[in-house]
Amino acid sequence: MKKDKSKRLSDWEKKFSKEVKIETSKEFFHETDEGININPLYTQEDLLDYTFNDIQTLPGEWPYTRGPKASMYTNRPWTVRQYAGFSTAEESNKFYRKNLEAGQMGLSVAFDLPTHRGYDSDDELVMGDVGKAGVAIDSVEDMKILFDGIPLDKMSVSMTMNGAVLPVLAAFIVAGEEQGLDRKVLSGTIQNDILKEFMVRNTYIYPPEPSMRLVADIIAYTAKEMPKFNSISISGYHMQEAGANNVQELAFTLADGMEYVRAALSKGLAVDDFAPRLSFFFAIGTDFFMEIAKLRAARTLWAKIMQDFGATNEKSLTLRTHCQTSGVSLTEKDPYNNIVRTSYEALSAVLGGTQSLHTNSFDEAIALPTEFSSRIARNTQLILQNETGVTNTVDPLAGSYFVEKLTEDICSAAWKIIEEVEELGGMTKAVAAGMPKLSIEESATKKQAKIDSGKQVVVGVNKFKNPKEPKIDVLVIDNEKVREDQITKISTLKKDRDDKILKGHLNKITEAAKDNTGNLLALSIEAMRARGTVGEVSKALEDAFGRHYATNVGVSGVYGKFFEKDEKFMDIQNKINIFEKEKGRRPRVLIVKMGQDGHDRGAKIVATSFADLGFDIDMGPLFQSPKDVAKDAIENDVHAIGVSTLAAGHKTLVPELMKSLNAIDKNNKIVVFVGGVIPEQDYQFLYDNNISAIFGPGTSILDSAEKVIELISKK
C-alpha cells in the first residue's frame, strides 16, 4: 500500500535532516546571488498557483516559455556563431573564411574600441587601441575588404556596435550594395543597445536622449528598407559581465526593450511593423539551472510586455535570443578548466532555448583567442548538436519541478525591478538617475567578496589550485603596424574622394540632428557612400549632440561586510593604520582606465573594496590618456596608481604613463600596479618599464591590497 503524500514528505524530511545533521530541511535553503531561496527538494506542490509561468503551455504557443518555435532544434539546430575580428579587415576576413569552412554558420563581428567610440585610427587619442579588441574599421573600403568573398545575401552577420552605430551600419549597407545586392536581402543584427552602455560597457558617444534618437531612426529605416535585418539586439550580456545577477540582467534588459519599443512608436510606426525584428542577447554564466530558467522567464515576460503594447503578430510576441557563454567566469588560473565551464554554460543556453550561440575560447581571460582555442570553442557546439541528442526533443526540462518553480521565481523577482524602473519614468530616466548602474556595481562587489572570502568556490582560483600552471600560447597583435596600415588607407581614401560632396552630406547630418528632421541612418549611408570615415560622420553628429561624459559614483561598505573578523582583512587595515600614523595621512591610490576601453567592472571593484579596507581612493574618469593620468596623480599627490586594462593596451598605454610621470617629475616615487587581461609572457615587459606589481584575472582583492600597502610603505 502506498503512503499518502504528506507522510512520504514527512519521512523524507526526517531522513534528510538526520543525514545532514540539522533540525529541519528549512535550514538548508541556499540563497542565490539573486536573493532566490533554493530548496533541497521540489515536488508537484511547487507547480501550483503561478502568476507568470503556465506549465500547461506548449513550445511555439503563448507565452512561449517552452520556446519561440513549435519544432525548435528538432527541425533546425541553433546557429553556431563565433565573434571574430582583430587587427585589420584583411586578417579578419581570412579568419572568417576559415571558420565558415570549419562549420560556423553565421558571422559575429567584433570591432576595435576606436571604431566603437567614433574615432578614426589616425586619431592620437586611440593610439594604443587600434586593432586590439576587434577589427579596425574606418570606412566603406575597410568594410568591403572585411566581407570580401563572403556573399552577404546568404550570410547572416551580427555586429556589436553602439556609439558609432550609424556610420558602421551605413558602411555595411553600402558594402552590400557594392557587392551588387539590394539592401532588402541583407540579414543579421546590429546590437545597438545603447542604454546598457550607460550602465556598464561605456562605448557611448552621445548623451542618452540623442542616443535613443539614433536607435529610433535605425528601427524606422530597417523596418521599411531591410525586412530581413534585426534592427536592434537588446543586450543583457554586458550587464552580467559587469557583475549583474541573473534577475538584474533579465529585468534591466527587458526594461531596455520596452524603452526601444516606445522610441519606435514615437516615429509613428505600428508595433507589429518593427517588433518582429527585435532580438535579445543574454550571457550564460555558471549557475546551470538559473540560466535555463532565465531564458524561459525572458520569453514569458516579453510576451506579456508586448501584449500590453498592443502587439498581435506572433513574431512580435516571441522573444528571440542570441546567447554567449560567460566571459567573466573564465579564469587566468588553471585556464583549461574554462573549457569545462564553457561546455556546461553552452548546454545551459541550449536547454533554455537560445536561437544562436557563441562559445568563448578558454584563453580569453589571458589574451585574444588563438585559432586553436577558437576551434575547441566552436566544436563544443558542434558536439552538442551532433553527439548528445539534445536536438531530438523540444524543451526537455519542461515539467521539472525545480526548473518550473525557478522560472516563476525569476519572473516574479524581475517583474518587481521592471515596475521600479517604470515608476522612475522608464529606462532612459532610470539610467540618468544612476539606479541600474549602482545596483549592478553593488552586485559585482558582493560577488567578488564571496569569491575572495571563500564563500563561493572557483575551482583552480580560490580552491583546488593547480601547483603547476600550464603555459598557454596567445595571439599577439602588432598594434603599431595595424595603426600604420589604417592611416595609410585613410590617407588614400581622402585623396581619391570628392571632399565638397562629402561636406554637403556631413552638413545635412548635423542639421537633421539639430532640427530633429529626416532619418539619420539614411543620411549616414549617403555620407559613407561618398567615402566619409567613421570619425567624420561621428563628429558631424557630435557637433549637434555633444559628447557624453560619465560621473563616477561608487558603492561603499559592500565588500567589507563579508570580512568581519577576517584575520587577513584586519591585518591589512592595521598596516594602513600604521602607515597613517607614520606618514600623517592614509595611503592614497588613483584607480584608472586608459584609452578607449570602457569595461570598468574591475576598476570599480578594486576602488570600492580598497576604500573599505581604509585606502583613500581617487577614481579617474573613463577614456583618459596616459598624460591625463600622470597629471592627475601628481596634482593629487597619490602614493600609487592602479591601472585596469582589458583590451590589450598595456604594452602601449602603460609605458606612455611611465614616460609621462617621469616627464612631470623625474623624482616621483609613485607606485604603479596593473590588473586585468595580461598574458604572463608580457609581465617582464611591464616590469622592465618599472611596473611594481601585476594582478591577473582572479587575483584576490586582499592579496592585491596587501601587496600595494607593502609597496607604498617601502617608498
Following CA atoms 562, 567, 571, 573 in sequence, which dihedral angle do they give, to the nearest 10 degrees? 20
- Is 688 a catalytic site residue? no
Tell me: the pLDDT tens digits for 618-629? 999 999 999 999
Catalytic residue among 405, 599, 604, 639: 599
Distances (CA, A) of 79 to 169, 175, 243, 375, 390: 22, 24, 27, 16, 14
Length of the chain: 715
List, edge to edge, every strand of the sheet that includes 232-235: 229-230, 188-190, 157-159, 106-109, 79-84, 356-358, 321-325, 278-284, 232-235
- Is 204 a catalytic site residue? no
Distances (CA, A) of 654 to 128, 328, 383: 10, 23, 41
**Contact of 221 with 166, CB cutoff 8 Å:** no
Catalytic residue among 447, 593, 639, 651: 593
- Residue from 58, 53, 69, 73 nearest 350 by CA: 73
Q: How far apart are CA 487 and CA 316, in angstroms?
A: 44
Q: What number is the average pLDDT over the span 84-98?
A: 80
CA angle 505, 507, 509 (to 5 degrees): 75
Give the pLDDT confidence score for residue 383 in this predicted structure.
97
**Contact of 377 with 364, CB cutoff 8 Å:** no
The answer to whether residue 58 scores a pLDDT higher than 70 is yes
Residue 267, all three cell numbers = 516615429
**Which pairs with CB-CB distance under 8 Å and at least 24 residues apart come from 433-439?**
434/553, 436/199, 436/248, 436/252, 437/198, 437/199, 437/200, 437/553, 438/553, 438/555, 439/248
The answer to whether residue 366 scores a pLDDT higher than 70 is yes
Q: What number is the average pLDDT over the span 638-664?
A: 90
Tell me, what amino acid is at 483? R
- Residue from 459, 473, 469 nearest 337 by CA: 459
Q: What number is the average pLDDT over the span 250-275?
A: 94
- Is 639 a catalytic site residue? no
3-state secondary structure 576-591: HHHHHHHHCCCCEEEE
Contacts of 556 (CB under 8 A, 6+ apart): 608, 611, 612
- Greater confidence (125 vs 648) lies with 125
Q: Which of 136-145, 266-275, 409-418, 553-562 has the lowest mean pLDDT?
A: 553-562
Query: Strands, E, within 518-639: which ranges?
Result: 588-593, 616-619
Tell me, what amino acid is at 242? A
The answer to whether residue 369 scores a pLDDT higher than 90 is no
- Is 30 a catalytic site residue? no
Residue 441 host element (H or E): helix 435-452
**Contact of 290 with 403, CB cutoff 8 Å:** no
Give the pLDDT confidence score for residue 86 in this predicted structure.
67
The answer to whether residue 438 scores a pLDDT higher than 80 is yes
**Contact of 121 with 164, CB cutoff 8 Å:** no
1 band by pLDDT with thresholds 50, 70 and 90: very low
**Contact of 208 with 163, CB cutoff 8 Å:** no
Residue 241 CA neighbour count, 13 Å, CB half: 25
**Contact of 257 with 302, CB cutoff 8 Å:** yes
What integer best gives the mean pLDDT of the chain? Answer: 92
The answer to whether residue 106 scores a pLDDT higher than 80 is no
Contacts of 270 (CB under 8 A, 6+ apart): none
- Residue from 551, 541, 593 nearest 432 by CA: 551
Q: What number is the average pLDDT over the span 170-182?
A: 96
Q: How far apart are CA 172 and CA 144, in angstroms?
A: 8
Give the pLDDT confidence score for residue 6 in this predicted structure.
83
Catalytic residue among 116, 238, 505, 650: 238
Residue 435, all three cell numbers = 539606479
Tell me: the pLDDT tens digits for 199-249? 998 999 999 999 999 999 999 999 999 999 988 889 999 999 999 999 999
Catalytic residue among 120, 256, 597, 682: 597
- Is 593 a catalytic site residue? yes
The answer to whether residue 555 scores a pLDDT higher than 70 is yes
Q: What number is the average pLDDT over the span 88-111?
A: 81
Tell me, what amino acid is at 540? A
Q: What number is the average pLDDT over the span 287-314?
A: 97
Residue 528 CA neighbour count, 13 Å, CB half: 33
The answer to whether residue 697 scores a pLDDT higher than 90 is no
Q: Are strands 229-230 and 188-190 parallel, antiparallel or unpaired?
A: parallel
**Contact of 599 with 199, CB cutoff 8 Å:** no
Q: How far apart are CA 460 and CA 452, in angstroms?
A: 13
Where on the phi/psi map is residue 460: left (φ > 0), alpha (ψ -120 to 50), or beta? Answer: left
Catalytic residue among 64, 237, 260, 559: 237
The answer to whether residue 153 scores a pLDDT higher than 60 is yes
Tell me: the pLDDT tens digits for 409-424? 999 999 999 999 999 9
Catalytic residue among 33, 64, 69, 83: 83
The answer to whether residue 30 scores a pLDDT higher than 80 is yes
Q: What number is the average pLDDT over the span 331-351?
A: 96
Q: Dihedral sign for Cα 511, 516, 518, 522, please.
A: positive
The answer to whether residue 34 scores a pLDDT higher than 80 is yes
The answer to whether residue 85 scores a pLDDT higher than 70 is no
Peptide bond into 63 cis (omega under 30): yes
Tell me: the pLDDT tens digits for 486-525? 999 999 999 999 999 999 999 999 999 999 999 999 999 9
Give the pLDDT confidence score for residue 289 in this predicted structure.
98
- Is 508 a catalytic site residue? no
- Residue from 320, 377, 345 nearest 84 by CA: 377
Per-residue b or e along 544-561, where b marks 16 or more CB atoms closer than 10 Å to that residue's CB: bbebbebeeebbeebbbe
